[in-house]
Amino acid sequence: MRSRRRPDPHLHLLLATSLLFAASAPALSAQVADPDPLRFAEAFEEFASWDAKNSVPSDAILFVGSSSIVRWSSAEAFPDLPVINRGFGGSQASDAAHWVKEAVLDYDPAVVVYYEGDNDVSAGKQARQVFEDMRTFGQAVLSHDRDTQVVFISVKPSLLRWEHWDEMQAINDLLRQYTLESPNLHFVDVGTPMLGPDGQPVPELFVSDGLHMTPAGYDVWNRVVGPVLHRLHGR
């Protein structure tokens, strides 16, 4: 059982300062405006209502992020692990940073599995801006409890958004470097096994919209991410 630390009472100040810094940094002077995170207020009210009526596992593996997380049958994929899924479809990395307390910290998970970036790049955001929001999220989780393990899933390739793949790879490169800063940060590459011999996304991994994944696509993620989760949750 991992050791526990009381939540940092200055967490919200940390988040506000980090977001302000990211917004004012010269490198991000041309950044795209973030969407209003309060558009998800109703979704989090529903999560809170569900939690009030049901129990959630302690020391859980918590999945958070956009629709790729929402559609991931994570509890079925990992039946031997204590799983909580708090994906909220259509979200961007800035949304995950804003809602980090309600989506993650209130559950005090042992492991966090994070996926964002798809919607950010589609909205016109560049890699550095997206990454800064991802880093803000990671810092918030570790400030809450330094023993938490945070798994960043790489931004995935897709048929619909293939034109953005270079920008997505730039995000992945920044994430990979960031996770070298702490033994509690982990980067998992799901993109490479989703590409065929021709270097293009494998069509069978996607539903008709060319973006969301088929069961075969999630089979790839389960094979790649599963061993990491079992290793980390056993610490």
pLDDT bucket at 186, cuts 50 / 70 / 90: very high
Whether 5 is covered by a domain: the verdict is no
Counted domains in the chain: 1
Whether 198 is covered by a domain: the verdict is yes
Mean of pLDDT over the chain: 92
Whether 29 is covered by a domain: the verdict is no
Whether 144 is covered by a domain: the verdict is yes
Residue range(s) defining the domain that contains residue 111: 17-24+40-233
What dihedral do alpha carbons 36, 138, 114, 16 form, nearest 10°? -10
Average pLDDT over residues 169-196: 98
**pLDDT, tens digit, for every residue of 16-53?**
555 544 444 444 457 899 999 999 999 999 999 999 99
Burial of 69 (C-beta count, 10 Å sphere; 0-12/13-18/19+): buried
pLDDT score at 1: 52
Whether 139 is covered by a domain: the verdict is yes
Asked whether residue 127 carries a pLDDT value surpassing 50, the answer given is: yes
pLDDT score at 25: 46
**pLDDT, tens digit, for every residue of 92-107?**
999 999 999 999 999 9
Asked whether residue 9 carries a pLDDT value surpassing 70, the answer given is: no
pLDDT score at 3: 52
SS3 letters across the chain: CCCCCCCCCCHHHHHHHHHHHHHHCHHHCCCCCCCCHHHHHHHHHHHHHHHHHCCCCCCCEEEEECHHHHCCCHHHHCCCCCEEEEECCCCCHHHHHHCHHHHCHHHCCCEEEEECCHHHHHCCCCHHHHHHHHHHHHHHHHHHCCCCEEEEECCCCCCCCHHHHHHHHHHHHHHHHHHHHCCCEEEECCCHHHECCCCCECHHHECCCCCCECHHHHHHHHHHHHHHHHHHHCC
CATH number at residue 215: 3.40.50.1110
